[in-house]
Amino acid sequence: MKHCLTLKDYTKEDIIEIVEKAIEIKANPKKYADVLKNKTLIMLFQKTSTRTRLSFEAGMTELGGHAIFLDSRTSQFSLTDFKDEIQAVMRFGDVLMFRAKEFADVDTAASLNMIPVIDACSEKYHPCQSLGDLLTMVEHSGGLENIKKVTWLGIENNVSNTLKLVCAKLGIDIYIAAPKVHEISVDEDLDKMADETGKVHKTIDIEEAMKDTDYAHTDTWMDMEFFSAEGGPVSGGEAGKVKPEYQAEYEKRIKEFKPFQLNAEIVDKYSPKAGIMHCMPCHVGYEISRDAIDHKNSVIFDQAENRMHIQKAIILWLLEK
Ligand code: CP
């Protein structure tokens, strides 16, 4: 049985097939309106979400199927053995999408091979995001062959892991300018697989990373728990006041990561045609500036919408397999 987990087991052809399927479905919504009639997607969340929940749920509706939202905090998961509970859950659906705190739980569900399982963002991977981002880049570049260089700025994490792997498998050079790796996201096997392609370039030189890039991506390195609830987000999306107990860590992160911010200045200076991307939610003024989100090159909202088109393709592809 095929699952959508780390993408380490996916070939270049698999990835292209899923993106082409998404393009086909997006262009012909009526043709696909009933393809998942009487099919159920179970959406299990151990963490919060806006885009992932909406894109999977809306996607299932548009394919004629149904999605059930299950929050681990308001169901019985906290009271029992995970493996028992997930076995019962999977009796009720045709596909499981799972936003988990730990990939090990996603892997446990998948290893039961009852129904296809999708990692909907764990601490190590975000395959749906990477495939959706590829769809966005292909659309905006007019074809995969026109994407030569992709840049990642900020911190290496679950999102950069799968983006890096997708780029490497497709022969796209990916430049990573990140002073730090989020330790819980490290997968040495994935790193090795991506590095062996010769397509992964690590640097802390912004010019080298950004020069003539086709797309610049980033993701959060600030923790929103550092801010007082009454303070933010305020007008423009900026966070509110820093809680005194987090002041030192807040300042440390600003010093470490702010030089790697995705902003209009570095785009206009080094790659004026580069598409600006962020998986969202954006933390304005930290990993990305307001002028980058609102920049004429920003494809951030297309990127968000494309989550739905790619989820449809992933679900149909898994069910066909
Ligand atoms: N990018 C992303 O996965 O968004 P959500 O956390 O809102 O689902």
Place of tokens 């200045």: 265
Three-state DSSP class for residue 66: strand
Which residues have CB under 8 Å from 73's CB, separation 6+? 46
Four-point Cα dihedral 192, 195, 200, 206, nearest 10: 70
pLDDT in tens, 114-133: 999 999 999 999 999 999 99
CA of 226 to the centre of ligand 1 (A): 20
> What's the whole-number mean pLDDT along residues 190-218?
98
> What's the whole-number mean pLDDT along residues 268-282?
98
- Nearest atom in ligand 1 to the alpha carbon of residue 55 is 8
pLDDT in tens, 137-161: 999 999 999 999 999 999 999 999 9
Order across the sheet with 95-99: list the strands.
Answer: 66-71, 40-45, 95-99, 117-119
Four-point Cα dihedral 296, 301, 302, 308, nearest 10: 180
CB atoms within 10 A of CB 48: 10
Nearest CA to ligand 1 atom 1: 279
Secondary structure string (H, E, C) spanning 82-150 = HHHHHHHHHHHCCEEEEECCCHHHHHHHHHCCCCCEEECCCCCCCHHHHHHHHHHHHHHHCCHHHCCEE
Using most ligand atoms within 8 A of CB, pick from 47, 49, 157 the residue to mutate for ligand 1.
49
Q: What is the average pLDDT value for the chain, to the nearest integer?
A: 95
Place of tokens 């950069």: 160
The Cα 23–Cα 196 span in angstroms is 30
CA of 13 to the centre of ligand 1 (A): 26
Residue 202's H or E segment, with its range, is strand 200-202
The Cα 304–Cα 301 span in angstroms is 5
CA of 126 to the centre of ligand 1 (A): 9
CA of 265 to the centre of ligand 1 (A): 26
Nearest CA to ligand 1 atom 3: 52
What does the pLDDT read at residue 225? 81
In 165-191, which positions are buried (b, 16+ CB within 10 angstroms) versus exposed (e)? Answer: bbbbbbebbbbbbbeeebeebebeebb
Using most ligand atoms within 8 A of CB, pick from 128, 279, 302, 308 the residue to mutate for ligand 1.
279
- Nearest atom in ligand 1 to the alpha carbon of residue 120 is 3
Shortest CA distance to 51 belongs to which of 238, 318, 293, 279?
Answer: 279
Order across the sheet with 200-202: list the strands.
Answer: 200-202, 173-181, 149-156, 215-218, 275-278
In 68-93, which positions are buried (b, 16+ CB within 10 angstroms) versus exposed (e)? Answer: eebebeeeebeeeebeebbeebbeeb
CA of 121 to the centre of ligand 1 (A): 8
Using most ligand atoms within 8 A of CB, pick from 48, 50, 303, 308 the residue to mutate for ligand 1.
50
Domains annotated on the chain, with CATH: 12-126+305-318 (3.40.50.1370), 129-301 (3.40.50.1370)
In the predicted model, is pLDDT for residue 232 greater than 70?
A: no
Give residues (CB < 6 A) around ligand 1: 49-52, 121, 129, 279-280
Predicted TM-score (pTM) of this structure: 0.96
User: First-to-last CA distance in the chain?
Assistant: 7
Secondary structure string (H, E, C) spanning 156-195 = ECHHHHHHHHHHHHHCCEEEEEEEEECHHHCCHHHHHHHH
The pair phi, psi for residue 219, each rounded to 5°, is -155, 170
Using most ligand atoms within 8 A of CB, pick from 71, 219, 280 the residue to mutate for ligand 1.
280
pLDDT in tens, 42-63: 999 999 999 999 999 999 999 9
pLDDT in tens, 239-264: 678 889 999 999 999 999 999 999 99
pLDDT in tens, 102-117: 999 999 999 999 999 9
In the predicted model, is pLDDT for residue 231 greater than 60?
A: no
CA of 303 to the centre of ligand 1 (A): 11
Using most ligand atoms within 8 A of CB, pick from 43, 47, 51 the residue to mutate for ligand 1.
51
Four-point Cα dihedral 179, 181, 187, 188, nearest 10: 40
- Nearest atom in ligand 1 to the alpha carbon of residue 304 is 1
CB atoms within 10 A of CB 249: 12
CA of 157 to the centre of ligand 1 (A): 14
Shortest CA distance to 119 belongs to which of 314, 317, 319, 321?
Answer: 314
